Structure 1
Amino acid sequence: MLGYLDALKTIQYEIRHEVENTIREGVRALNSEVVVGLALLVIVLLISPIIILLVRMVTRTLQAFSETLLEKTHELSNEKKRSDKLLYQMLPPTVAQQLRQRKQVSTEVHESVTVYFSDIIGFYELAAESTPLQVISLLNVIYKMYDSQIDCYDVYKIDTVGDAYMVASGLHMRRPDTNHAAEVAHMALDLLTGTENFVIPHMPGEKLKIRIGIHTGPVVAGVVGTKMPRYCLFGDTVSTASRLEYTGQPFKIHISSATRSMLEPTQGGFIVVPRGEVDVHRNKPKMETFWLVGRHNDTKKRKEKMERENSTKVSGSKKKKGNPSVIKKILCK
């Protein structure tokens, strides 16, 4: 029994020694883990302000970039609108869209179109007595006046060559039920009225004299060229309108019988005076032509327009800022 007790004590001592060693190793491991955790905590506490600062900097950079991107997008949208507006002034919207899509623009045949031509009488003599800058300034003022007026009508400006001004109606009309001959007639009367009192800036003693020719008939329309495409009209109607303008007289609107027949059913009525047969084309028979003198209710409309203009000027003097589009709509009525 004593031998067994001695052996048992020896085993107990060994077990206790083994347990103590295990506990010591566990304590050491826990201490090392705690030290590592504290070290990591210290590192995180030291790095966290830097991380927060970097996040704030990145956030501000992203905000500034988004604001800049939004501003550039807005500028790009405005530039696109301006380029579209400029493109639509050179080409009809349908034709411009086809060219943008790289499609082949087909030639169009229009059965009835009214073509307007006007030029300045004695322009080359006037240009010879003026400097190039004066000629350019004069044409710029005249075309600005014409362009602001034709926006009031359902017409399309085709071309300007020197002092010649060409407009057509019936090609791509905003209102299909509109009488295109009446639109051109109204426009011609208003342009003539605006030109009657026009004084040449560098020659105050001289007045601008224009003559106008209008003809209605079929035309062929198409885009000519690829580098600088131009929308052109072809056909006898164009040449006839040009010849009517050439054989006209100062401050008169020379129209053909085809245009007159379209103006007859127009509500309100135009004042048309026969001119007689005129040799418009050299190798063709004479044509019966007419003078477009005015409108039956033109006096009343002019009075109302003057009253609107006066009221607009009075209200514009009271208010420093106005809406040009609203004023333009009032003057176009």
Structure 2
Amino acid sequence: METEELGLTEVLQKIKMPSDIPFRPSVDIPPKLTDMYKLMKQCWSEIPNQRPTFPTIVNELKSMAGKFGDSGNLLDNLLRRMELYANNLEKLVDEKTQELKEEKKRSEELLYQILPRSVAERLKRGLRIEPEAYDCVTIYFSDICGFTTISARSQPMEVVDLLNDLYSCFDSILGEFDVYKVETIGDAYMVASGLPQRNGNRHAQEIARTSLALLKAIDTFQIRHLPDEKLRLRIGLHSGKL
């Protein structure tokens, strides 16, 4: 009735506006529907904790069913619709929760690619990251020999595929050693050992073993659009204070 008198826009505006007396529809209630009206008003409460849950609503409606006589079929239909709505709502919540978990997992994986896991975990917990000094670590650098020439013979997406395939291959190898991939810039690949987790004097050995494994992998690596082209890797290692 309020919609017909005030118009839809005005009704929506009144519902949204905060007020000591929330805007609610006026309803003509037959005497035998008084209990249902009370239940309906509880569902309108501005305070979420004061609203009845779906199981409570269903139970109360079922307890009212005997009072309606011929209207019982209408109430049964209403109950079925409510149960269907509740089930659909639960399914929707489960789906959205699963989507949220998957999105959170993707975000965490991206964060772990950018930052060391220990640093990322502290940031997620809202903790401060204190600067650290390392007495000695070993750094690995490499680039692709003749990469500029190869790029000149390739389409942009072919270059992207080449780097993605190559460094995906390298990334899979790093898990076998106590090293941390710092970053990739173009065809440059940087790996460190001895940080962020200290490993005593093993950092040079770990980087050396990693270098040999990557050299072995490059021998069998094949470029998709240049299958006859063999890649060569230029590697540099350095140990020192950081």
Coarse TM-score class (shorter-chain normalised): 0.5 to 0.7
Inter-CA distance 43–213: structure 2 relative to 1 (3 Å threshold): closer
- Runs (5+) with no aligned partner, structure 1: 1-40, 220-333
Larger radius of gyration between Structure 1 and Structure 2: 1
Q: What is the CA-CA distance between 1:197 and the residue it aligns to?
A: 2.6
Aligned twin of 1:189:
212
User: Hey, what's the Cα distance between the residues in 2 that align with 1:49 and 1:155?
Assistant: 70
Aligned twin of 1:118:
142
Contact 2:66 2:72 in 1 (8 A): no
User: Hey, what's the Cα distance between the residues in 2 that align with 1:177 and 1:55?
Assistant: 69
Q: What is the CA-CA distance between 1:98 and the residue it aligns to?
A: 3.7
Q: What is the CA-CA distance between 1:201 and the residue it aligns to?
A: 3.1
- Runs (5+) with no aligned partner, structure 2: 1-64
Aligned twin of 1:217:
240
Question: Which letter does structure 2 place at the counterpart of 1:187?
Answer: T
What per-residue deviation string (whole Å, max 9, x for no partner) do you get for residues 46-68 of structure 1?
A: 22222222122212211221122
Deviates more, 1:66-75 or 1:185-194: 66-75
User: Hey, what's the Cα distance between the residues in 1 that align with 2:200 and 2:93?
Assistant: 45
Question: Which letter does structure 2 place at the counterpart of 1:121?
Answer: C
Alignment of 1:16-27 (within 5 A): none
User: Hey, what's the Cα distance between the residues in 2 that align with 1:42 and 1:161?
Assistant: 75
Q: What is the CA-CA distance between 1:116 and the residue it aligns to?
A: 0.6
User: Hey, what's the Cα distance between the residues in 2 that align with 1:110 and 1:42?
Assistant: 79
User: Hey, what's the Cα distance between the residues in 2 that align with 1:69 and 1:213?
Assistant: 53
Q: What is the CA-CA distance between 1:145 and the residue it aligns to?
A: 0.9
Which of the pair is proportionally richer in strand? 1
2:111 is the alignment partner of 1:60: no
In structure 1, the residue corresponding to 2:68 is in which secondary structure? helix
Percent of residue pairs bearing the same amino acid type: 43
Deviates more, 1:57-66 or 1:92-101: 92-101
Aligned twin of 2:116:
92
Number of residue pairs the alignment of both structures matches: 179
User: Hey, what's the Cα distance between the residues in 1 that align with 2:184 and 2:66?
Assistant: 81
User: Hey, what's the Cα distance between the residues in 1 that align with 2:174 and 2:158?
Assistant: 24
User: Hey, what's the Cα distance between the residues in 1 that align with 2:84 and 2:204?
Assistant: 62
In structure 2, the residue corresponding to 1:154 is in which secondary structure? coil
User: Hey, what's the Cα distance between the residues in 2 that align with 1:43 and 1:101?
Assistant: 56
User: Hey, what's the Cα distance between the residues in 2 that align with 1:130 and 1:208?
Assistant: 14
In structure 1, the residue corresponding to 2:191 is in which secondary structure? strand
Contact 2:194 2:200 in 1 (8 A): no
